[in-house]
């Protein structure tokens, strides 16, 4: 469909205006922005509501935003709509049956070494047999001659949608909603999920999630993304192969997907948009005709010569019915003529549906009358012929094969009474007519007529007093009887002996000694009549008719199971069979390899020599290495040769020409359906080869514009480019490219056959390529996928399968990664970690970012190492801690800070996290939103460092952070920006020289006075001076109802993490504080962690990075009007500073924690400072 037609269809059926759509990469696809409420109403009600327009943006602005890729509000959603226009009057083949692959585990999909060898040997044997059958056999594929019912195109597309997407389907005409069949099919993680499918009488609309970038954009505009690591492109191919395997198991073809149909996310996860329309397989006209049309076909003249029809029938490519009808025409018989109607044999007595076969070597007249009566008739006529006085009698056995009377009796139920009284019986007596088809077959001496094989109406009577012709008890209806009767005519039992009936009715047994011997002398052929007649028996052949080739298990398309014969071991030596005595004979070593290996294993160990060496000299005999070819007992090669000779003799004597030498094995008269399915699978593999070439040689194909080529032109162009640029193709994909595109070692096409099929055995000795085969780990020689690809893909696929499940998706994804990383990370190299890191970083920016950092950071950072961990994870962790909120309190616990110091290193930790920790002590992280979303954080423009977010009054100067340099601060008393930037080494800095005592270094006994952390008397006096009575609540201050219920300051630790934090707790104990109703868990947790950190860093680094920043934070606690407001609902005995006597301010709470930390730090380092002063 053209793009304008697609937009018009959307306006007509879904009411989406043109301004709210833009063109997608394909002509039949549109990207639309719709309101989520409109989309939800469509899925629930089964009809689209009136389209909801944007309240703030004009149509022009919406159109511009769409084209520029600007984001809309969360209430609006971008959807990709695929529109398929279907002709309602066309029918196609149905989809293949799906395989039960969803029940197979991952481990069962991988073959062991022995299973792989068996698969290769067995598949190559079967494919070679099929190829030989096509080339050399004169027999058709009898198993593929089954009739495939046709279905509508809409039914095929909807079935494909159900299997691939498992989404709700809406009938827009009836407003009926069919729920998603999740009990049977699941959407593959690499298939673009669908929201719903809407169909009308001639249109299908598939609404899917929208992903802006495709693989075409990546290789065209950002090729460096894939060039950073070799594993990136290989992982893309691996994902596509996984989807191809899943679609094959579901019986759906992805079609000739292009780079535009392969969508990609920043984390290099692939989602494919299948070409559903390529699942429509249109039928072709067959040579054989339908059962219901046989009566009509009988009236038509043959359009083929007898030699052609004979060849087709002998080889089984023409049905028995069609061939007999053709012989009737050649004999001058006319359909519907009572005295010269078509004749067919009675083949059964109808005692059962699959038995009661008639003897076709005898005529029906002979079977009905008996041999004695026929002999009596013939001898009596012969004796009277010798008497001169008696009238002339012609010796004969049969008068005719179908008389007028019998014809009218057969069709009595459909013939008027007047004709029946004229030709059958003058008086109308219904009881004189056979009541059933079984009784009629027993009564009549004549042959059958085609109507009993084609037309069920002949059983229905037009006469009131003559009942319908009864059918056998095993038949349910006349139609059912016709079907079974026709199957009996085409059965193997009839086909094997039908040539005898042809000899009796049209062949050499109508005259001469053969006729006398068969008791088949026909009166019409021996009476020497002189009157001109337009009907009668006609002898077509004077030679025995060739018999039809019947199915042979060794001459069929399906390879038979061959049992290798086992011969007795005649060699007494334990040496291999290739070594034999010089006088040995070949029959002494006729033994299968299997029996040899078994007996060698039983006699001795493979690494041990023979216990007793024979005294006979052994030599290698070329004659002994030749093995006999054992043919099966029922192979029947002689009968096959005789059949060929009989056909040749008959053609020369009767038809005066040799049999046709066409390759009939290549004809697939009724296997078009299977052939089309096989072609679609081959096309998918060739498409994968084209995708590989287009990914790795994208710079050579940019001017080719392969996106808009049809598949044949695209494949041809890729073959030309890869042949010319073969050296530029990476070695990792050369082998798989040569297998998929059938190339030699230099990149040239090696196959001269049709591109619709692969060779039965590839040059590597493997079967034709498939997704199941290429994903086998033991076949890494074809495409070298790293061993960790499978567990990595399994983990990531499980994560992406939860993308649209619920609001708790990110939490479930964190749990999945947490359980899978410990076993996965040891197997991965740097390239593998490069594939994993983006998925973890994405979770660090999700709703469950805190839990993701708490659980996933340490194992991943450990695998990455300090340098790469700082490069990949430092920024997201730093942004996460800067965001603040009650949910971030867990990240300020000393156990997590310890992990940050260990994994990033001390210098990186001090330069990036000290400032956030001090700000958290001052209460600035408590004032942030509790659960900021990723989009909100991005739109705040680093809101954590903007003074406006802290409700400060003097925000004109644009201070970037509470601890950053500003115009009002003394630059001599604060740490500069250069000091805290990573990588900036100042002169005299002790950061690098300070030992990381937190790793595994044992501290001294905490009972030692030198290591005591108890505050001295000076510190106690300072705290005593700051104590203020907090019991009195200021009047007029009410409890803030918005304050969240207090939470524990120390989060619960995992067992493993608690063990990590145990040594720290034994070395240092937090000072006791009065119990308070903690409303700010981040600041409380940060204060304890900061004191722990000061103890670990030592006095020099503490003074430089902690104390100085705490002093700055002390003044900032009272910055802004909100800090000078009276505290609400605070009831605590904890001392704090008051600006106004008798009133507690909000800033007092934060300053209390800051002063407490300063006092503790001063107490810890006071002994050291006094010693230095002396």
Q: Are 36 and 75 in contact (CB under 8 A)?
A: yes
Domain count, the chain: 3
The verdict on 939 and 1052 lying in the same domain is yes
Could you give the residue ranges of the DSSP H alpha helices within 825-905? Answer: 830-843, 849-864, 866-883, 894-904
Q: Which residues of 1041-1068 are buried (b: 16+ CB within 10 A; e: fewer)?
A: eeeeeebebbbebeeebeebbeebeebb
pLDDT averaged per 10 residues, the chain (length 1174): 80 90 90 93 89 90 89 92 85 87 62 92 91 72 63 93 92 88 83 93 92 93 90 96 94 93 94 94 57 40 71 86 92 86 93 90 88 82 60 72 89 90 88 92 92 93 92 93 94 92 90 86 72 74 87 75 55 37 36 38 38 44 63 76 83 77 45 84 94 92 73 90 92 94 89 77 92 92 93 94 69 92 94 94 90 93 93 92 76 91 91 88 67 37 35 36 42 37 38 36 37 35 34 34 34 36 40 45 84 87 87 83 69 45 73 86 70 48
- In-domain check, residue 771: no
End-to-end, the C-alpha distance of the chain in Å comes to 92
Report the Cα 215 to chain-centroid distance in Å.
Answer: 19
Q: Which helix (H) or strand (E) holds 1149?
A: helix 1146-1173
Give 152-193 pLDDT, tens digit per residue: 999 999 999 999 998 999 999 888 888 887 767 889 999 999
The verdict on 463 and 373 lying in the same domain is yes
Last residue of a domain, one of 171, 194, 209: 209
- In-domain check, residue 480: yes
- In-domain check, residue 629: no
Residue 543: burial class (beta carbons within 10 Å; 0-12, 13-18, 19+): middle
The length of the chain in residues reads 1174
Cα dihedral across residues 1110, 1112, 1114, 1116: positive or negative: negative
pLDDT value for 515? 86
pLDDT value for 524? 72
What is the C-alpha to C-alpha distance for residues 564 and 876, in angstroms, rounded to an integer? 66
Q: Are 911 and 926 in contact (CB under 8 A)?
A: no
- In-domain check, residue 521: yes
Paired strand residues for 398: 522
The verdict on 936 and 1037 lying in the same domain is yes
The pair of three-digit structure tokens given for residue 314, joined into one six-digit string: 């002998």
Note down the domain range covering 1014.
Answer: 910-1173
DSSP 343: -
- In-domain check, residue 655: no
What is the C-alpha to C-alpha distance for residues 729 and 699, in angstroms, rounded to an integer? 12
Last residue of a domain, one of 506, 526, 546: 526
- In-domain check, residue 446: yes
Last residue of a domain, one of 467, 497, 526: 526
Q: Are 298 and 450 in contact (CB under 8 A)?
A: yes
Residue 262: burial class (beta carbons within 10 Å; 0-12, 13-18, 19+): buried
The verdict on 198 and 307 lying in the same domain is no
Q: Which helix (H) or strand (E) holds 791?
A: helix 789-800
The verdict on 483 and 361 lying in the same domain is yes
pLDDT value for 563? 64
Residue 176: helix, strand or coil by DSSP?
strand
What string of DSSP letters covers 117-144?
HHHHHHHHHHHHHHHHHHHH--S--GGG
Q: Tell me the CATH number at 485.
A: 1.10.1540.10
What is the C-alpha to C-alpha distance for residues 231 and 597, in angstroms, rounded to an integer? 42
Q: Which residues of 838-871 are buried (b: 16+ CB within 10 A; e: fewer)?
A: ebbbbbbbbbbbbbbbbbbbbbbbebbeeeebbe
On the CB side of 1005, CA atoms within 13 Å amount to 3
- In-domain check, residue 337: yes
The verdict on 311 and 429 lying in the same domain is yes
The verdict on 167 and 314 lying in the same domain is no
The verdict on 340 and 466 lying in the same domain is yes
What is the C-alpha to C-alpha distance for residues 1096 and 17, in angstroms, rounded to an integer? 65
The verdict on 365 and 502 lying in the same domain is yes
- In-domain check, residue 950: yes
- pTM score: 0.70
The verdict on 172 and 307 lying in the same domain is no
The verdict on 923 and 1068 lying in the same domain is yes
Give 730-756 pLDDT, tens digit per residue: 999 999 999 999 999 888 988 666 677
The verdict on 444 and 337 lying in the same domain is yes
């Amino acid at each position: 469909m053209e793009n304008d037609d697609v937009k018009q269809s959307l306006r007509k059926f879904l009411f989406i205006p043109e301004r709210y759509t833009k063109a997608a990469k394909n002509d039949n696809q549109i990207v639309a922005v719709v309101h989520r409420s409109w989309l939800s109403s469509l899925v629930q009600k089964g009809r689209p509501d009136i389209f909801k327009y944007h309240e703030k943006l004009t149509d022009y602005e919406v159109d511009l935003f769409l084209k520029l890729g600007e984001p809309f509000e969360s209430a609006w959603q971008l959807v990709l709509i695929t529109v398929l226009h279907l002709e309602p009057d066309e029918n196609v083949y149905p989809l293949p049956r799906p395989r039960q692959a969803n029940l197979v585990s991952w481990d069962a999909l991988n073959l062991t070494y022995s299973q792989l060898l068996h698969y290769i040997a067995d598949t190559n044997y079967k494919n070679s047999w099929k190829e030989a059958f096509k080339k050399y056999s004169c027999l058709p594929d009898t198993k593929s001659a089954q009739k495939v019912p046709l279905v509508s195109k809409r039914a095929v597309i909807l079935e494909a949608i159900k299997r691939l997407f498992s989404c709700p389907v809406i009938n827009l005409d009836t407003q009926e909603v069919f729920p998603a069949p999740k009990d049977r099919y699941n959407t593959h993680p690499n298939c673009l999920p669908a929201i719903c499918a809407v169909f009308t009488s001639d249109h299908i609309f598939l609404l899917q999630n929208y992903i802006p970038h495709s693989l075409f954009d990546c290789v065209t505009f950002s090729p460096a993304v894939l060039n950073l690591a070799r594993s990136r492109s290989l992982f893309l191919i691996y994902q596509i192969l996984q989807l191809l395997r899943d679609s094959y198991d579901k019986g759906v073809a992805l079609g000739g997907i292009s780079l535009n149909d392969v969508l990609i996310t920043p984390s290099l996860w692939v989602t494919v948009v299948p070409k559903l329309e390529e699942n429509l397989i249109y039928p072709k006209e067959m040579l054989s005709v339908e059962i219901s049309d046989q009566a009509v076909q009988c009236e038509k003249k043959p359009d083929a010569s007898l030699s052609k029809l004979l060849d087709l029938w002998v080889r089984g490519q023409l049905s028995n019915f069609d061939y007999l009808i053709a012989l009737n025409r050649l004999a001058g018989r006319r359909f519907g003529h009572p005295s010269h109607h078509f004749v067919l044999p009675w083949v059964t007595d109808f005692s059962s549906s699959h038995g009661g076969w008639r003897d076709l070597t005898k005529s029906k007249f002979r079977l009905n009358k008996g041999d004695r009566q026929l002999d009596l008739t013939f001898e009596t006529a012969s004796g009277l012929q010798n008497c001169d006085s008696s009238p002339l009698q012609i010796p004969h056995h049969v008068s005719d094969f179908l008389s007028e009377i019998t014809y009218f009796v057969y069709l009595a139920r459909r013939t008027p009474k007047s004709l029946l009284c004229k030709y059958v019986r003058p008086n109308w007596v219904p009881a004189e007519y056979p009541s059933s088809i079984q009784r009629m077959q027993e009564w009549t001496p004549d042959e059958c007529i085609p109507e009993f094989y084609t037309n069920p109406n002949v059983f229905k009577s037009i006469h009131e007093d003559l009942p319908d012709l009864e059918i056998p008890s095993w038949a349910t209806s006349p139609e059912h009887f016709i079907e079974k009767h026709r199957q009996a005519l085409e059965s193997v039992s009839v086909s094997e002996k039908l040539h005898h009936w042809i000899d009796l009715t049209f062949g050499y047994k109508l005259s001469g000694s053969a006729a006398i011997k068969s008791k088949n002398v026909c009166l019409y052929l021996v009476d020497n009549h002189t009157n001109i007649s337009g009907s009668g028996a006609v002898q077509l052949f004077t030679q025995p008719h060739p018999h039809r080739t019947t199915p042979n298990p060794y001459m069929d398309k399906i390879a038979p199971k061959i049992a290798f014969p086992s011969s007795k071991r005649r060699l007494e030596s334990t040496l291999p069979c290739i070594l034999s005595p010089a006088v040995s004979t070949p029959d002494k070593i006729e033994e299968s390899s299997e029996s040899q290996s078994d007996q060698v294993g039983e006699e001795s160990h493979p690494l041990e020599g023979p216990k007793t060496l024979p005294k006979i000299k052994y030599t290698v005999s070329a004659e002994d290495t030749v093995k006999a070819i054992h043919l099966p007992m029922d192979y029947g090669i002689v009968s096959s040769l005789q059949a060929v000779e009989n056909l040749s003799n008959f053609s020369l004597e009767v038809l005066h020409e040799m049999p046709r030498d066409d390759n009939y094995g290549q004809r697939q008269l009724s296997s078009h359906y299977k052939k089309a399915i096989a072609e679609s699978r081959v096309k998918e593999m060739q498409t994968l080869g084209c995708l590989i070439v287009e990914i790795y040689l994208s710079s050579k194909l940019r001017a080719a514009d392969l996106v808009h080529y049809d598949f044949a032109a695209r494949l041809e162009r890729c073959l030309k480019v890869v042949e010319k640029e073969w050296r530029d193709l990476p070695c990792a994909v050369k082998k798989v490219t040569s297998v998929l595109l059938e190339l030699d070692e230099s990149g040239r096409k090696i196959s001269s056959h049709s591109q619709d099929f692969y060779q039965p055995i590839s040059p590597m000795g493997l079967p034709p390529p498939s997704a199941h085969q290429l994903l086998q780990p033991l076949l890494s020689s074809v495409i070298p996928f790293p061993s960790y690809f499978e567990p990595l893909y399994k983990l990531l696929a499980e994560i992406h399968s939860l993308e649209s499940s619920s609001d708790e998706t990110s939490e479930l994804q964190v749990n999945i990664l947490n359980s899978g990383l410990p076993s996965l990370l040891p197997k991965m190299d740097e390239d593998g970690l490069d594939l994993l890191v983006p998925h973890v970083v994405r979770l660090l920016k999700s709703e469950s970012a805190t839990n993701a950092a708490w659980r996933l950071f340490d194992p991943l950072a450990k695998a990455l190492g300090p340098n790469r961990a700082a490069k990949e994870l430092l920024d997201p962790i730093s942004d996460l801690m800067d965001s603040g909120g009650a949910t971030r309190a867990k990240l300020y616990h000393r156990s997590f800070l310890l992990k940050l110091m260990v994994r990033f290193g001390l210098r990186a930790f001090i330069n990036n996290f000290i400032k956030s920790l001090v700000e958290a002590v001052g209460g600035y992280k408590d004032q942030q939103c509790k659960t900021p979303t990723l989009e909100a954080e991005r739109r705040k423009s680093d809101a954590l460092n903007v003074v406006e977010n802290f409700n400060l009054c003097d925000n004109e100067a644009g201070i970037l952070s509470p601890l950053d340099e500003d115009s009002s601060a003394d630059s001599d008393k604060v740490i500069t920006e250069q000091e805290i930037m990573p990588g900036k080494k100042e002169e005299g800095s002790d950061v690098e020289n300070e030992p990381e005592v937190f790793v595994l270094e044992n501290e001294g006994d905490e009972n030692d006075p030198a290591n005591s952390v108890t505050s001295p008397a000076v510190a106690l006096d300072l705290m005593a001076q700051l104590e203020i009575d907090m019991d009195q609540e200021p009047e007029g201050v009410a409890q803030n109802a918005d304050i969240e219920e207090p939470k524990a300051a120390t989060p619960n630790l995992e067992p493993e993490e608690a063990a990590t934090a145990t040594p720290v707790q034994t070395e240092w104990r937090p000072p006791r504080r009065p119990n308070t109703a903690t409303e700010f868990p981040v600041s409380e947790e940060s204060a304890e962690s900061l004191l722990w950190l000061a103890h670990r860093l030592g006095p020099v680094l503490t003074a430089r990075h902690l104390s100085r920043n705490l002093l700055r934070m002390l003044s900032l606690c009272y910055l802004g009007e909100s800090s000078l407001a009276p505290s609400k609902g605070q009831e605590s005995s904890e001392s704090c500073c008051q600006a106004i006597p008798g009133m507690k301010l909000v800033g007092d709470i934060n300053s209390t924690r800051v002063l407490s930390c300063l006092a503790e730090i001063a107490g810890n380092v006071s002994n050291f400072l006094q010693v230095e002063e002396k």
